[in-house]
Amino acid sequence: MSELREVISTGNELSAIAAVDAGCTFFGGYPLTPSSEIMHVCSDLLPKVGGASIQMEDEIAGICCVIGASMSGVRALTATSGPGVSLKAENLGLAQMAEVPMVLVNVMRGGPSTGLPTRVSQGDIKQASNPSHGDYRSITLCAGNLAECYTEVVRAFNLADRFMQPVIVLTDETLGHMHGKAMLPTQEDVAAGIVLRKKFEGAPEDYRPYECGPTEPAVLNPMFEGYRYHFTGLHHDAMGFPTEEIETCRKLIQRLEDKVMAHQDEIELNEEFMMDDLNGEEGEVLIIAYGSVSLAAKEAIRHLRADGIKAGLFRPITIWPSPAKRIKEVTSVTKNVLCVELNIRQYTEEIERASGRLDLEGLYKVNGRAISPYEIVEKVKEVF
């Protein structure tokens, strides 16, 4: 890999730049605080590379045009916050069922409903696991610093094309509006690592887009290139035509599950910070945090170690599907576990499920303000 490039920017700007560097040529959306700058930057950058950015009349239209753009074969992006995801939910389900790749960046803010539009939250964790009804597996990534607002968007486009489905990237108001230095891969390295969707290159009469292996995604050739198929949100057969045939329907929905879960090794990504010397001794503390909260957790760990308390951080970067196996491993060798979130136990419940433990401590905040390193230090000293 080439040397990293140094940039000074905000998380929202970096998310937009990442999309363009990853080959995205279409943005469709609607301005929603605190994500609006992503649309602003895309509207400036995309025309310069032959792309287009369209502000639609609402969030629903925003995702509809992204689905249409993706069906034409281009990489497409939308960005919003929690209320916008709620409005996009129906068409996220359509993209899951029809297997249309796209990337959605959710810059989280306080909720429910209008909530705290200009404040930080991590209240969309559960929403991201099942943003629409039905059986499927969401792929959701969570940036934890400015650099990852860039790298996780790039990774999201590659995963979307690999697994032929929407991929969500979670950031939050803190990261979206944070202005600072980030070390990024070069554009050349990003371009070299692009993974494009597969194409069928045989005779048009032999094309069956949804006739694929039980753990593989559909192969949807771009529209207008001579390959015809039906596009529907209904249960469908190998050509995409609606069907209620029992076994066809069962295999379709099972495949939407298995195409993700059978390939978690390609999706899972975590960070383990100062965990090498945690070995189950009395007084050790494992902190589990993600997103912007992990920045405070790292600073807290440095203070705790200076005070003689051995602490480390486990940070899931791929939130869904959750790294359940690794969560079980790291929590099984550490007596004291503290989960820190800007919500009320939304990911803690998944950690409890994965670890099989009900003795986890938690530090939660839902008033729109960030969690400080000092608060984490005080919580550790209070409960352990």
Contact 80, 55 (CB under 8 A): no
Condensed to tens digits (0 to 9), the pLDDT of residues 36-78 reads 999 999 999 999 999 999 999 999 999 999 999 999 999 999 9
What's the Cα-to-Cα distance from 202 to each of 141, 221, 226, 237, 240, rounded to whole Å? 35, 11, 11, 19, 18
Residue 340 scores a pLDDT above 90: yes
Q: What is the DSSP letter of 350?
A: H
d(CA 347, CA 101): 26
C-beta atoms surrounding 3 within 10 Å: 9
C-beta atoms surrounding 193 within 10 Å: 13
- Helix and strand totals (H; E) in the chain: 14, 15
> What is the pLDDT at residue 100?
98
Element (H or E) spanning 152, and its range? helix 146-163
Mean pLDDT of 196-220: 97
* pLDDT band, very low/low/confident/very high, at 35 (cuts 50, 70, 90): very high
CA angle 145, 146, 147 (to 5 degrees): 95
The tokens describing 81, both together, are 């916050």
Is the entire prediction scored with pTM above 0.85? Answer: yes
Question: What is the chain's alpha carbon radius of gyration, rounded to the nearest angstrom?
Answer: 21
Domain boundaries 270-383, corresponding CATH code: 3.40.50.920
Domain ranges of the chain: 5-192, 270-383
Condensed to tens digits (0 to 9), the pLDDT of residues 164-175 reads 999 999 999 999
10 Å CB burial of residue 282 (0-12, 13-18, 19+) is exposed
Condensed to tens digits (0 to 9), the pLDDT of residues 211-257 reads 999 999 999 999 999 999 999 999 999 999 999 999 999 999 999 99
d(CA 267, CA 260): 8
> What is the pLDDT at residue 3?
83
Condensed to tens digits (0 to 9), the pLDDT of residues 288-300 reads 999 999 999 999 9
Do domains 5-192 and 270-383 share one topology? The answer is: yes
C-beta atoms surrounding 238 within 10 Å: 16
Q: What share of the chain is helix, strand, coil (3-state, %, to 5)?
A: 40, 20, 40
Mean pLDDT of 126-153: 98
For the chain, the average pLDDT equals 97
Domain boundaries 5-192, corresponding CATH code: 3.40.50.970
